[in-house]
Structure 1
Amino acid sequence: MNIMFASHTYMGSPFVVGSHHLSRELEKLGHSVIHVSTPLSPFHLLKWKDRDIQARFQILQGKRVDTSAVVNSVPMSMLPWEIAGPIFKRTKKNWMLPSIKKVMREHNMDSVDLLLIDQPRFVGLEKLVSPKVTIYRPTDIYSKMTGDASIASAEQTLMSVVDGLVSTSGPVLSELHEYNPSVPTLLLENGVEYEHFSAPAAEPDDLKSIPGPRAIYVGALDERLDLKGLKLLAKEKPNISLVIIGPVNDETRRDFAEFAHVHFLGAKKYANVPAYLQHSHVALLPLSNHAANAGRSPMKLYEYAAAGLPVVVTETPELLRRQEKFLHFYQGSEDLPQKVEEALALGSDRVAIRDMAKRHAWDAKVNTLLDFIDNL
């Protein structure tokens, strides 16, 4: 098939997301795939110092930052969603949409069989490319995550035209399905690049000097993270080294400066993350009470497990639903320190945890997705 994936995150980003994995798996099966991510606009030049913006402009200019055969496109549009969104809410016309036919011509794709959209800002793309099948694949409750009312309008419009809804969590599926209860649905949680995270890797040099036991968190440090719980963990359990991998601002560093056993190692390339996980003892997924967390399907969950780690995680309806035995749940921030200590004391059967993760490999996920599409 000719497949277009309209995603919120460009391939080559510091964050590897589900659309990247699904696109690669689809390409491995022999399909032609164009992965299109959120467009740039002339207004983005005002943020030129942002490295993420620079990377996206480089892709726009033809620089290859991803080694797969998937076409990685960051197109150009007239307006950013911040301006186009309110206009869309009033007029139902999306001025953020890029000149996608040009991208298709450049890569000899004369028609689209399957359009997968996980970025609601691409509303209206289905009219431009006229796919045989259109699937909306939300990975979060975007309107609540962003606080943007125009996103809710975009999603409502999408749900009136798509052929199927594929969601990564129960809460997201329930929220979106209300817009159009007649649309066929599939609950397909995010998966894991199993071989990448389970293949043995040498201990990184910057981890060797950090004493065990090591509790590790990999990801963004934003309002969706239970920073209060992490600080309590650092304060109450000085015997546990807290290793944090991901971009960190100066304010957060200052907030933890008094704790010598907290180690901010910065962002790491996706290729190197498994080594840090495999040489730690417990993984952390501390979620705040942010509204968007109720519907999250964190990829880190099974990446941690593929590396053999038990995971201490905040209770959410979605994660409780899964009943994974390697998860150790806590409720309030004040419970995190004790729960981490308990998880370490219990020890873990790394082989058994890896086996649980293997069921969620991306190749299995894409086959389930294609079966759903075949049955529409």
Structure 2
Amino acid sequence: MRAVLLESLPYESAFRVGSHHYAARLLAHDWDAMWLSHPLSPLHVVHPVKRDFEVRMRSWRAGPLDYGRLTYYNPMALLPPAPLPLLRSRGVARTSVRLTVPSAYRMLRRRGFDAPDLVWLTNPIYQPLAERLQAGCRVVRVADDATAFENVPESLRELEEAALAAADVIFAVASSVRDRLAQRFANVVHLPNGVEFERFDVDVAEPTDLASIPGPRVLYVGAMEYWFDAALLAECARELPDVSFVLLGPESARVTKAVEGLGNVHLLGSRPYAGVPGYMRHCDVGIVPFVRSTMVDAIHPIKVYEYLAAGLPVVAIRWPELEAMKAPVDLCERYEFCERLRRLLDGLGSSSGEIESRLEYARENSWDARFEIVLREVGRVLDGASR
């Protein structure tokens, strides 16, 4: 069996998202897979943010990189869709991945992936390529409300609509997205994010760069883009000067500026996924300080599952998808956040019942359980196609 995964992040990215976990489980079930990440373009060379740039360039220059039964490739597009004059048009969006150097389609055909059993599309930029592939089953995984992200040209929203219309199965991560799509499509399946419970429920050594940071420690893991409330984080750091705030994630000039002069905020940068459990195990509270928006309202955060699997109490800004998760998390409004965090820290030393509640919630929401849904839905389509 063969699968083509059309993604945004590189396979080697420090961020580990849902498709990484599903790809790992396909490989474990003896599938072969080809993973394509968001195309590079001449714009990336001049853009100030170079996240994952090196591995993406290496994949393009060296050709596909082989990781056992999975092959990773990052195409180079000459005409990237972007919210800029001439690049925001429908024509650019439709031709972008067809004008890669070299041709992404020819590369797939040479590798025997032009007629895969499964096309798994998360990044709508790849819809014009996906429709050329003779797939047994077409899946669209809607990981969030992409239409609500900043700087997304209307042309990419149109590609997502085309992908949804052509899909055999639509997996919606957020319940709100599922409800919205179910009004127009009959093949929508709720597929929330999950957690590798055994990876986070472990006793591991304290990371060396964490050992010198005094406790108690409040931890945030993840991206710190415009949806991360840097001002709120700085406010809490000022109000709780005896608490250390540890931030793991790609560098952000915006966050660095917001916490400038705050000695109890520690920006440690990105860490490999395999090393993250060590930080969670040796911190005291996990936080999710997001800025409420339409986009955030549809986020189904993997980090909450991972915090809970590590036994951490969690304080998070309240938004609809987090409420729908019904996780054992302290949800609050922005004006309450620092005080809720203070109270939680004052009462550190959770009862065994509270800890077990967190662990049980994480156990019940494993990636293995989610993958069973994937196998059921994809199998239903492939069985029907084979008759």
Indicate whether the TM-score tops 0.5: yes
After superposition, the C-alpha distances for 1:112-139 in whole angstroms (9 at most, x for unaligned) are 1111111011122232112121111111
1:42 Cα offset (Å): 4.5
Q: Is the 8 A contact 1:163 1:183 kept in 2?
A: no
Partner of 1:316: 319
The 5 Å alignment of 1:233-272 reads 233-272=236-275
AA aligned opposite 2:330: H
- SS in structure 2 opposite 1:4? strand
- SS in structure 2 opposite 1:34? strand
Q: Tell me, in whole angstroms, the C-alpha distance in 2 between the residues paired with 1:21 and 1:92.
A: 28
AA aligned opposite 1:165: I
1:354 Cα offset (Å): 2.4
After superposition, the C-alpha distances for 1:67-114 in whole angstroms (9 at most, x for unaligned) are 5632112123332122786332x6883333453333334434352111
Cα–Cα, structure 1 residues 48 and 207, in superposed 2: closer, same or farther, change >3 Å? closer
AA aligned opposite 1:231: A
Partner of 1:191: 194
Q: Tell me, in whole angstroms, the C-alpha distance in 2 between the residues paired with 1:257 and 1:43.
A: 30
User: TM-score by structure 2 length?
Assistant: 0.88
Partner of 1:368: 373
Q: Tell me, in whole angstroms, the C-alpha distance in 1 between the residues paired with 2:38 and 2:263.
A: 40
| Unaligned residue ranges in structure 2 (runs of 5+) | 382-387
Identity of aligned residues (%): 28
Partner of 1:329: 331
Partner of 1:158: 163
- SS in structure 1 opposite 2:88? helix
| Unaligned residue ranges in structure 1 (runs of 5+) | none
Partner of 1:36: 36
The 5 Å alignment of 1:4-15 reads 4-15=4-15
1:56 aligns with 2:56: yes
Q: Is the 8 A contact 1:217 1:284 kept in 2?
A: yes
Count of aligned pairs: 371
User: TM-score by structure 1 length?
Assistant: 0.90
- SS in structure 2 opposite 1:61? helix
Q: Tell me, in whole angstroms, the C-alpha distance in 1 between the residues paired with 2:140 and 2:151.
A: 20
The 5 Å alignment of 1:1-376 reads 1-47=1-47, 50=50, 52-62=52-62, 69-82=69-82, 86-88=88-90, 93-97=94-98, 98=100, 99-109=103-113, 111-148=115-152, 149-178=154-183, 181-325=184-328, 327-332=329-334, 334-344=335-345, 345=347, 347-348=349-350, 349=352, 350-376=355-381
Q: Is the 8 A contact 1:245 1:264 kept in 2?
A: yes
Q: Tell me, in whole angstroms, the C-alpha distance in 1 between the residues paired with 2:47 and 2:257.
A: 26
1:321 Cα offset (Å): 0.9
Cα–Cα, structure 1 residues 223 and 91, in superposed 2: closer, same or farther, change >3 Å? closer
After superposition, the C-alpha distances for 1:221-255 in whole angstroms (9 at most, x for unaligned) are 12111222212211111222111111233453243
CA RMSD of superposed structures (Å): 2.4
Structure 1, 71-80 or 30-39: larger mean CA deviation: 71-80
Q: Is the 8 A contact 2:59 2:73 kept in 1?
A: yes
AA aligned opposite 2:285: V
